[in-house]
Chain A
Amino acid sequence: MIMIEPVPPFLIYLIGALLIPFLKGKTKKLCLLIIPIVAFIDLLHMHHGTYWTLHFMGYELIFGHVDKLSMIFAYVFVIMSFAGLLYALHVDDDLQHVAAVCYAGSSLGVVFAGDLFTLYAFWEFMAMASVFVIWADRSKRAIDAGFRYLMVHLFGGAVLLAGIVIYAMQTGSIAFGRLEGGGLGFWLILIGFILNAAVPPLHPWLPDAYPAASVTGAVFLTAYTTKTAVYTLLRAFPGVEILAYLGAIMTVYGVVWAIMENDMRRLLAYHIVSQVGYMVAGVGIGTELSMNGSASHAFCHILYKALLFMGAGAVIHSTGLRKMSDLTGRGLYKKMPFSLIFYMVGAFSISAVPLFNGFICKPMIVKAAEEAHRIPLFFLMHMASIGTWLCVGLKLPYYTWFGKAQPGVKEIEAKEPPLNMLLGMAFLSFLCIFMGIYPDILYRILSYPVYFHPYAPLHVIGTLQMLLMTVAGVWLLLERLEPQAVINLDTDWFYRKGAILFVKFCYGLSAVRTATQNLAIGLVDGVIKLSKNPIYAVQSLLSQKESGMPPYDPNTYRQAMGIGVIFSLILFCFICFIFFARLTQLIR
């Protein structure tokens, strides 16, 4: 047996990313698929502990902080990158592949970072790589959304860095573990993390940017940024009370906005907000069950959410249409049945239908809230489960693939996407079902021992009741649910409209500056004119004539001036004479 010495997994991705532009055709495709496979083998050989350390400016930077929690996230990140690259294999765009591989690699760097500085470095690297994944679509919408995304994340990164520096100064430690105290540094780091976890009101970058990315790029985006944030929250802020409430509100918030939404992938993006809410709430509740629930939900969520984006992406790839209002009633189910089936596997998973992987993880967090006597949290999350099923499981597939045929609207022209896209979806569908049937494979790798049985008969029956009655409710209100060709405002209104207001304010300031400058120029101009020819200037002022001032000619008034001067000199002499005469009288 050959002993394999593990290397930092992000290095594998980085080297792979550097190789991609130099390879061609089949070799490039092979390389893309081999990167995650090599990384997975590498993970299998990593053991728990702390290694790959580097001394830098008196601090110890740790690139390998390996325990159960980091391994769960690393496994799913690597599996996800395989599925994503398989789905994107037909794309001939080096920028997109390199950005996606770097993005996956840097998220692995975050997961294994043992200190705050290393974490921050990979955090920013991830933001940069992901913005290129968005820009790789090259459409105006993607470029604009990418810039907004970058601004928000650079702001978040700056807050995080400020937090880290203050925390390091206060405690003298940069170790990345459970953070203590409640100082400014603690809270700034928390804000930096929850911005990436898309916690409202800091979330609108997500539904803004993800649907703007390309079909294949969006699949990567769904997995990494929010889930690395969940990982960092799990590691650093377990049991922080405010997270429990924020998370529970987040679950419902995402659902409510998703119900209004018309753009397929924007609807799904709001469900990322909703689903990450469960994980954040799980971190906030802070019991073993809830923490296990958060980690396992992150694992399952990455798989089914990528699958959902792949399904919606397949429709966009084939039809070029993103909005349900354009697709409804055009018989897409006849043209793309396989995409529908794979999409529905994802939809059943996210809705926690028994035998799919959402069923083995999400109820853990809801149950944990109930066991911890957090009744409002329990009901909020339970409510969000209904909303998830109604949007992702019923609304989106109904209006995309089916819908009432409108008179005069032609049946849609479409065909199934390329084989590699179907294979990517099939791979994730298999994992979703396999984990749903055999939950132990996930439960075994969780941080704490699992005493949760998803397939308790009453739980299965209760879930089925809820799901079926939701179908009945949707059926009753089907006409109200019809997607409209509108957009819905979110908290990004503040900075999108705010930015325009700010630009207008800047224009105003600029106008004040111009006015001041013109005034000063006018004054100087006047003084110049006055000094050029003072007499004529006064004349022109009196006669209100502006133009045609002749240059100063000393001979023009020489005689008049001379007489004046002589008279004044005579007057002066006369005054002097009287003055001296009076003076001599006084002295005498």
Chain B
Amino acid sequence: MTLLKVLLFVSIVIVCFLSFLIHPEHEPHYIWEKIPVFEAIFGFVGCIVLIIFSKVLGHYFLEKQENYYDYD
């Protein structure tokens, strides 16, 4: 697990570093195209938002026992 963590950390550093080196082929149109690590931030924040939102929605509104729809 520790090895995997290190590997993940190193690869994140590498891809983030690479995005500073490579320049877009066309002029950036949107503000987020100008931020080199935008995708990384978006991925991280988006992931956490999705998990929390979905689990809250499930926990407070939608979760039911597995026999919820059973009838006789």
A-B contact count (CB 8 A): 128
Interface residues of B in 18-72 (CB under 8 A from A): 18-19, 22, 24-25, 30, 37-44, 46-48, 50-55, 57-58, 61-66, 68-69, 71
**What chain A residues lie within 8 Å of B11 (beta carbons)?**
464, 468
Complex Cα gap A387–B54 (Å): 10
Smallest distance from the beta carbon of B49 to chain A beta carbons, Å? 8
Residues of A in contact (CB 8 Å), total 43
Kindly list chain B residues whose C-beta atoms are within 8 Å of the C-beta of A259: 50-51, 54-55, 58
Q: Say how far A294's CB is from chain B's closest CB, in angstroms.
A: 23
Q: Which of A452-469 contact B (CB under 8 A)?
A: 456-458, 461-469
Q: A468 — which chain B residues lie within 8 A by C-beta? A: 8, 11-12, 15, 40, 43
A383 at the interface (CB under 8 A from B): yes
* Residue of B15, B38, B64 with highest tally of chain A CB at under 10 A: B15
Tell me what chain B mostly uses at the interface: helix, strand, loop, or mixed. helix
Query: Are the C-beta atoms of B69 and A386 separated by less than 8 Å?
Result: no
Known A-B contacts A370-B30, A386-B50, A458-B24; the reply to A484 vs B69 at CB < 8 A is no
Tell whether A386 pairs with B54 under 8 Å between CB atoms, given A461-B18, A465-B15: no
Chain A residues numbered 480-526 whose CB sits less than 8 Å from any CB in chain B: 480-481, 484-490, 496, 500
Name the residue on A nearest B69 (C-beta): A496
Q: Are B50 and A462 in contact (CB under 8 A)?
A: no
Are A461's CB and B57's CB within 8 A? no
Chain A residues whose C-beta falls within 8 Å of the C-beta of B66 in the assembled complex: 485-487
Q: A469-B44, A477-B52 are in contact. List 19 more A-B contacts (CB 8 A).
A: A256-B50, A257-B54, A260-B62, A375-B30, A383-B50, A390-B50, A458-B19, A468-B8, A468-B12, A468-B43, A469-B47, A470-B44, A472-B44, A473-B43, A473-B47, A473-B51, A480-B52, A486-B66, A487-B64
Residues of A within 8 A of B (CB): 255-257, 259-260, 370, 375, 382-383, 386-387, 390, 456-458, 461-477, 480-481, 484-490, 496, 500
Q: List 21 A-B contacts (CB under 8 A).
A: A256-B53, A256-B54, A383-B46, A383-B50, A387-B46, A390-B50, A456-B25, A458-B19, A458-B22, A461-B15, A461-B39, A462-B38, A464-B15, A465-B15, A468-B11, A469-B40, A477-B52, A481-B55, A484-B63, A485-B66, A487-B64
